[in-house]
Amino acid sequence: QVQLVESGGGLVQPGGSLRLSCAASGFAFTREVMNWYRQAPGKQRELVAIIYSGGLTNYADSVKGRFTISRDNDKNTVSLQMNSLKPEDTAVYYCNVRLNWANYWGKGTLVTVSS
């Protein structure tokens, strides 16, 4: 059974940093592409960052240079380091994996950037 459990969200001031983590289980983690998405109030869910099995990464233009995705294949975790946070980064952040054409999601963790 695929499980994705996010943690690390919270309230942070503009310019601050947060680190999100996602603990994955129930599938061959080391072989899969892992993604972070986010959904802001009233907006569609959007892809934030991707990390491939070999470590190659890709980012949405809106977070490039500020966010860093990483993975620990020994611990089956994927993380998102978020720096220089802006109010527009406020959203629920979701960990995602696509297996056999099916999408699996965690429950999400809320990030609020506000003074």
pLDDT digits over 2-51, tens only? Answer: 999 999 999 999 999 999 999 999 999 999 999 999 999 999 999 999 99
Reported confidence tier of residue 108, pLDDT bands at 50, 70, 90: very high
Closest CA to 56 of 37, 38, 34: 34
Both tokens of residue 36? 């972070």
Reported confidence tier of residue 64, pLDDT bands at 50, 70, 90: very high
Query: Where would I find the beta strands (DSSP E) of the chain?
Result: 3-7, 10-12, 18-25, 34-39, 46-51, 57-59, 67-72, 77-82, 91-99, 102-105, 109-113
What's residue 81's pLDDT?
98
Q: Please name the amino acid found at residue 15.
A: G
Could you tell me if 112 and 93 are in contact, meaning their C-beta atoms sit under 8 angstroms apart? no
